[in-house]
Amino acid sequence: MPTSSTVITFGTFDVFHVGHLRVIERAAALGDRLVVGVSADALNVSKKGREPVFSQDERLAIVGALRWVDEVFVEESLELKRDYIVAHGARTLVMGDDWTGKFDEFEDICQVVYLPRTPAISTTAIVEKISTGS
């Protein structure tokens, strides 16, 4: 029997904010070890059609410095989730509930948990607020 349980989560974590912090804290509480896949800049360009504000190296450094995070890696492709879960020996996959149902296909290899998003905060809203000054 394994003695530790690894939790894995994924995200862009651009312009790191308290919603990101809360999901990471709650993910870490579901196991002994938390591994975080931080999406590659190239993945953001292909997925959202824009570069993140902070580069992949900066986002990895910020997330990796958090006390709840044991390991970070670059999420190169959305299609590789199964491989990442297996490679990291994750027992639990955690995502915010904006992803509800999207990762149920991995229930054959791990527990899949969707946590409620922190209301009223997002990278998009922060960028908008800074750029418009309101």
- Binder to ligand C2G among 6, 31, 34, 39 (CB under 6 A)? 39
- Give the N- to C-terminal CA distance of the chain in Å, as an integer: 54
**According to the binding rule CB under 6 A, does residue 105 interact with ligand C2G?**
no
x/- mask, ligand C2G, residues 112-131, rule CB under 6 A, reads -----xx--xx---------
Residue 92 contacts residue 5 (beta carbons within 8 Å):
yes
Question: Residue 54, SS3?
Answer: coil
Do the Cβ atoms of 59 and 37 come closer than 8 Å? no
* Residue 11 touches ligand C2G, criterion: CB under 6 A: yes
Nearer to ligand C2G, 43 or 91 (CB): 43
* Interface of this chain with ligand C2G, residues 47 to 66, rule: CB under 6 A: none
Phi, then psi, of 101 in degrees rounded to 5: 85, -20
Other CB atoms within a 10 A radius of the CB of residue 124 amount to: 11
CB neighbour list of residue 28: distance below 8 Å, 6 or more residues apart: 7, 34, 68, 69
The minimum distance between CB 4 and ligand C2G, in angstroms, equals 22
CB of 41 to ligand C2G, least distance (A): 12
Tell me which residue has its CB nearest to ligand C2G.
Answer: 96
Q: Token match 């006390």: residue?
A: 67
Q: Between residues 1 and 120, which has the closer beta carbon with respect to ligand C2G? A: 120
Name the residues that contact ligand C2G, by CB under 6 A. 10-14, 19-20, 23, 39, 75, 78, 95-96, 98, 117-118, 121-122
